[in-house]
Chain A
């Protein structure tokens, strides 16, 4: 009886929230003139289906197949694929022009798990590893293509939609950077679409250097005394020492231990492990200096403990160019204000800084609110309509 009452009350609360969201959406629609409500379920559906495709795979072929099949179903003919795995759709402007606006999303999900990436859907949330990240960005590009194909909007600039990959950015060269190397058009602006958090405006993003430290120690019996240190000890010692480093400008440099995994579980000596670190800094020079300090500290600990160690730079994204981003930041804030989205500054790293480094004004845009923690990852469904409207208004403002 009590259980039924709780379910019923939860149902009423959920219906009330949906009613309020619908009322807000209809106000927004009247203001913007874009009736996108029928596209929102398609957006969620595509994000779910995309999120459940395994990743990483060589050149993300399975995910690319989903994208090209969808584009073909939508009747999009102007699709170009390159050998790095980039998929580019070009939607021409209403009149002749060389200028383009680029919207891009990344297809890989480094956190993919066959079980945890299967999405669960309640009335208000979609939960599953990857949903707060790239999947929604890819789905938004596909649904935007569908919306623009229907003739609902036309722009003065060409609009290029790019499905790409950031793996190896700033180090070995990502698919995105290969595309940027080869492009011939005149890019007026670029936007990176991602899942969350809606309203965050990266006015002045910090740079980041991502390191993966793999440790291997000599294997031994669990009860043997005087043997090698375990990988857990070595990695925690590295994390502890790095936490104690005095940076030259403490407020401008920060180190984050993003993940620490070691050992093979109960009954086994932990002889192997990996730690993922990221260093944030306000400018690229500080980033490189800080990276050198981290590498030196790590190697010294490894030498002392006798562990063998391998350090890989997994990614290097420079700090963003605030001046170059300013017009887009202002445009985005105006759009947020028009849609009633709470705009707030964010200084976290932003892949669009790779474009800033080439003189291209670029900014990241998130589509909804949500959460990503160790145990759960979800997106909220009600803000998606505003998030998608935001894209259209921003395109109208800059394209």
Chain B
């Protein structure tokens, strides 16, 4: 097969952006500001290091990033104290845009972060990375500073898993390979060129992100990709190789719930864009079975499928970031 997904043309290695002075010059010329945010829920083990390393390197030594914030979902460990200690602005998700209520989920934190962050470029990084380094940020920001037509950049990497027995050399990305890649291959072959479409590290231009609806739960990443593909085309998406990311392993039961949330968002998008039609209402609960004492117990878990509207539709946001102040993101054609 000679066809290649177009996104492979927008695939870079982080080393392309390793010269901080070059990036600073690109930033200065563009006049853009950059915000970095971590969505957190009980990440006291790793959040301190992530903030310290990225702040020391990319705010103090080389001022590429203008602010670092943590959007917390109600951690009961020391996440908030540690984040504040190492210099991040710490927000409680439920205190942001209070009038709009609050959901629990990573997507909710990302959506609300758009309201409190000030930057023109937003970088989101998961808070459970054990081997954090500056490349996680400059790798994602680089294509946005270098190429105006790119509006959204996703990370991909080798994914060794951190477990009690040490680091497993390969693995991870199971939901991608078993669920998302087949779905993309069937419905959106253009997006199948994304190596890790579910990676938790990505960056985008505010003017693009504010026009996206946000799934509050697991579907936020896949929702973004399909929406951006429809709204701006595949050439607005890039991906960056960050080499290696060490993170916690997730049990299969958790991955199953994650897959449920992702599939829910995916089917929702198919319907929204007129690409498929659901003949029945989708169930709201993920059902698992557990064997106990010779019989099987049903474990039903509600997986949030709620969606937030594009942030630009929120009047408080529009007042804070007036649409006329900067044109909407429009990729070069």
Chain A residues with a Cβ under 8 A of chain B = 3-4, 7, 10-11, 14-15, 18, 38, 41-42, 44-46, 48-49, 52, 69, 73, 114-115, 118-123, 126
Q: Determine whether the beta carbon of B56 is less than 8 Å from that of A44.
A: yes
Give the residues in chain B near A121, CB-CB below 8 Å. 48-49, 52, 82, 86
Q: Is the interface of B mostly helix, strand, loop or mixed?
A: mixed
Q: Identify B166's interface contact among A14, A115, A120, CB under 8 A.
A: A115
Instruction: Apart from A46-B56, A114-B167, A121-B52, list 9 A-B contacts with CB within 8 A.
Output: A3-B76, A7-B76, A15-B81, A41-B56, A41-B60, A41-B86, A42-B60, A114-B166, A115-B162
Q: Does B158 lie at the interface of the complex (its beta carbon under 8 Å from any beta carbon of A)? A: no
Q: Determine whether the beta carbon of A11 is less than 8 Å from that of B81.
A: yes
Distance, CA A364 to CA B20, complexed state (A): 34
Give the residues in chain B near A115, CB-CB below 8 Å. 162, 166-167
Q: Identify B49's interface contact among A3, A4, A42, A48, CB under 8 A.
A: A48
Say how far B137's CB is from chain A's closest CB, in angstroms. 13
Q: Determine whether the beta carbon of A49 is less than 8 Å from that of B45.
A: no
Give the residues in chain A near B246, CB-CB below 8 Å. 118
Q: Determine whether the beta carbon of A48 is less than 8 Å from that of B53.
A: yes
Q: Does B133 lie at the interface of the complex (its beta carbon under 8 Å from any beta carbon of A)? A: yes
Q: Determine whether the beta carbon of B56 is less than 8 Å from that of A42.
A: yes
Q: Determine whether the beta carbon of B82 is less than 8 Å from that of A122.
A: yes
Say how far A120's CB is from chain B's closest CB, in angstroms. 6
Closest to B19 in A: A73
Q: Determine whether the beta carbon of B81 is less than 8 Å from that of A119.
A: no
Which residues of B in the span 6-37 have a Cβ within 8 Å of any Cβ on A? Answer: 18, 20-21
Q: Is the interface of A mostly helix, strand, loop or mixed?
A: helix
Give the residues in chain A near B130, CB-CB below 8 Å. 118
Q: Determine whether the beta carbon of A123 is less than 8 Å from that of B48.
A: yes
Q: Determine whether the beta carbon of B55 is less than 8 Å from that of A41.
A: yes
Q: Determine whether the beta carbon of B78 is less than 8 Å from that of A11.
A: yes
Q: Determine whether the beta carbon of B77 is less than 8 Å from that of A7.
A: yes
Contact with A along B58-86 (1 / 0, CB 8 A): 00111000000000000011100110011
Give the residues in chain A near B40, CB-CB below 8 Å. none
Give the residues in chain B near A7, CB-CB below 8 Å. 76-78
Q: Does B131 lie at the interface of the complex (its beta carbon under 8 Å from any beta carbon of A)? A: yes
Give the residues in chain A near B167, CB-CB below 8 Å. 114-115
Listed A/B pairs (27) with beta-carbon separation below 8 Å: A7-B76, A7-B77, A7-B78, A10-B78, A11-B81, A18-B85, A38-B60, A41-B56, A41-B60, A41-B86, A42-B57, A42-B60, A42-B61, A45-B52, A45-B53, A45-B56, A46-B56, A48-B52, A48-B53, A49-B53, A73-B20, A73-B61, A115-B166, A120-B46, A120-B49, A121-B48, A121-B82
Contact with A along B146-171 (1 / 0, CB 8 A): 00000000000000001000110000
Q: Determine whether the beta carbon of B85 is less than 8 Å from that of A123.
A: yes
Nearest 4 CB-CB pairings of A with B: A45-B56, A121-B48, A121-B49, A123-B85
Q: Determine whether the beta carbon of B52 is less than 8 Å from that of A118.
A: no
